[in-house]
Amino acid sequence: ADQTTAASTVDGNTLVAMCLARADIDKMFGVVGIPVTSLANRAVALGVRFIAFHNEQSAGYAASAYGYLTRRPGILLTVSGPGCVHGLAGLSNAAANAWPMVMISGSSDQSCTGRGDFQELDQIAAVKPFSKFSAKATDITKIPSSVFSVVDWAVAGRPGGTYLDLPTDVLHQTIERSEAEKLITLALNSRNKDLIEKPLISSSEIQKAVGLLRKAERPLIVFGKGAAYARAENALRKLVESTGIPFLPTPMGKGLISDTHELAATAARSLAIGKCDVALVVGARLNWLLHFGEAPKWSKDVKFILVDISKEEIELRNPSLGIVGDAKDVVEMIDKEIKDDPFCFGKTHPWVEAIKSKAKDNVAKMEVQLAKDVVPFNFMTPMRIIRDAILGMGSPAPILVSEGANTMDVGRGVLVQTEPRTRLDAGTWGTMGVGLGYCIAAAVASPDRLVVAVEGDSGFGFSAMEVETLVRYQLPVVVIVFNNGGVYGGDRRNKEEITGPHKDDPAPTSFVPGAAYHILLKAFGGKGYLVGTPDELKSALDESFSARKPTVINVTIDPSAGAESGRMQHKN
């Protein structure tokens, strides 16, 4: 009889699958092998979609992004030892980005601990720096409470990664099905309610926030991927439109309010952050991406109002006013408070006018560069063509995945986000190699949207074999590779002195020139294009966007076009 539904006893594998299904987990990413292959199969039998990868690193990146996009923890399943270690890439990325995910790893037999068992590792110790909670089911009866707690902890407060350890012997233990059902019910009833509850927001803090905004001379609203995660877009748009305050999204905050909105300060970023006197920052950390909130990028007198789900985050930054709470709830309360006594900065307010005119100037300057058809391609010409093709898709807008130094930097300025949560990039950690994992997560999370990756050849190469995964699941993903023959762009040895006995080796920044990445996809039955001119690119985009099939477009870029370290040369 079928172990998942009919047998009178269940083993550990089945019990984990039953618990995941009861925790409303409907997708899993991972790589099967000893001892978790049956676990994956049992989960599938209970309605969970298992997306099988080549490499745990990509599967982990997928799980983290899936958590961000869906607000349910992305699940990564790995084998023991090395599988778990590969998965740490995903888990650490979830921690850095504050995205909910659960890594579930099989582990070696508990009776062999310390004696060199197959793939033996103290996995609980290994995951410690990257997980906010971990549990080891040391006995089959501990499985239900362990599964529900790792799921609840992943989404509690500031989201992040959690870890569940499943020893081989536990996966093979059996109990009566009726006993298993009882344990599940018991564990569900004793879930920690504190983890599920949202913090209470004090109305006096809301009043203070509104008071500061009302009195400000040069206010700014900044929002990030925490606000995106909280689904705060409608509340934020209402706030911006009712008060006339300009807004600035962080890279992944882009699209919460359309980049094309008249109050978007993106193209006047330096002015906006350099001159604002009150900044309401919602779901975005004052970390390196926002220059730590410090002078000289920000005015030294700026008053920050920080809205964040994490009390620790607010304590760390010590703003003029901190509001701990869910971004959507807080902004809705601010909207309500303003509605009773409205104020608006109006189109002719000098601050609003200054931002608008600066943005207009900067956009016009960029458009001059973009308008040129430069062949061999620089970064700007193909980016313009891709921007227009994406905008041409209308709604639902494609999800954009972007990584690479120059490709991501140029793309961030040129590509336009019109809808929330349609941009996934290297994020808080500047993680390269996320591309294919993010594409797969996005396609699985939002089946109605096309997924378009715009990445450098280096970023693509980290996980290029996952193009087979795209083809296997027939995901509507178009990967556009900006191929300039290396990291930052080809062989740059003439820019830096390389001497010594290995000076004739390929430069550390270089790959094989003219690599045929498009053929890679054809090897698996997908579609590949090699393009080097505007017309070729336009027609490849046209065909692939309407076909919605796994595609790689290999775009030949002039190897000398990119800058070393993109726009972060000061860090190199």
Nearer to ligand ADP, 289 or 321 (CB): 289
> How do strand 9-11 and strand 174-176 relate by DSSP bridges?
antiparallel
Distances (CA, A) of 567 to 359, 410, 415, 488, 493: 20, 9, 17, 11, 20
Give the nearest distance from C-beta 316 to ligand ADP in angstroms: 9
Which stretch of DSSP H or E encloses residue 455? strand 451-456
Edge-to-edge order in the sheet of strand 278-282: 247-249, 219-223, 278-282, 303-308, 321-324
In 3D space, the residue among 238, 135, 274 whose CA is nearest the CA of residue 192 turns out to be 135
In 3D space, the residue among 441, 445, 569 whose CA is nearest the CA of residue 453 turns out to be 441
Nearer to ligand ADP, 442 or 553 (CB): 442
Structure tokens at 11: 């083993």
Give the nearest distance from C-beta 196 to ligand ADP in angstroms: 13
Q: What's the one-letter identity of residue 110?
A: Q
Give the nearest distance from C-beta 231 to ligand ADP in angstroms: 8
> How do strand 9-11 and strand 74-78 relate by DSSP bridges?
unpaired
Give the nearest distance from C-beta 66 to ligand ADP in angstroms: 16
Nearer to ligand ADP, 311 or 549 (CB): 311
Q: What's the one-letter identity of residue 307?
A: V
Give the nearest distance from C-beta 96 to ligand ADP in angstroms: 8
> From CA 67, how far away is CA 70, in angstroms rounded?
5
Give the nearest distance from C-beta 370 to ligand ADP in angstroms: 25
Give the nearest distance from C-beta 212 to ligand ADP in angstroms: 19
Which stretch of DSSP H or E encloses residue 162? strand 161-167
Q: Indicate if the alpha-carbon torsion angle 222, 226, 232, 233 is positive or negative.
A: positive
Nearer to ligand ADP, 253 or 382 (CB): 253
Nearer to ligand ADP, 291 or 387 (CB): 291
Give the nearest distance from C-beta 102 to ligand ADP in angstroms: 17
Q: Work out the end-to-end distance of the chain between its first and last CA atoms, rounded to an integer number of angstroms.
A: 61
Give the nearest distance from C-beta 474 to ligand ADP in angstroms: 32
In 3D space, the residue among 436, 367, 443 whose CA is nearest the CA of residue 404 turns out to be 436
Nearer to ligand ADP, 231 or 349 (CB): 231
> From CA 72, how far away is CA 427, in angstroms rounded?
19
Nearer to ligand ADP, 180 or 248 (CB): 248
In 3D space, the residue among 13, 43, 18 whose CA is nearest the CA of residue 28 turns out to be 43
Which residues lie below 8 Å from residue 552, measured CB to CB, with a gap of 6+? Answer: 467, 478, 479, 480, 481, 517, 518, 520, 521, 526, 527, 528, 529
Nearer to ligand ADP, 330 or 385 (CB): 330
Task: Please check whether residue 314 is in contact with residue 307, taking contact to mean a CB–CB distance below 8 angstroms.
Answer: no
Give the nearest distance from C-beta 325 to ligand ADP in angstroms: 7
Nearer to ligand ADP, 10 or 279 (CB): 279
* Residue nearest ligand ADP, CB atom distance: 226
Nearer to ligand ADP, 31 or 252 (CB): 252
Give the nearest distance from C-beta 159 to ligand ADP in angstroms: 6
Nearer to ligand ADP, 159 or 490 (CB): 159
Give the nearest distance from C-beta 311 to ligand ADP in angstroms: 10
Nearer to ligand ADP, 298 or 517 (CB): 298
CA angle 149, 152, 157 (to 5 degrees): 130
Structure tokens at 565: 């370290």
Distances (CA, A) of 543 to 32, 342, 394, 448, 475: 35, 49, 16, 18, 16
Contacting residues toward ligand ADP, per CB under 6 A: 97-98, 158-159, 224-226, 229-230, 250, 252-253, 283-285, 287, 289, 308-310, 313, 326-327, 428
Backbone angles phi, psi at 243, to 5 degrees: -100, -15
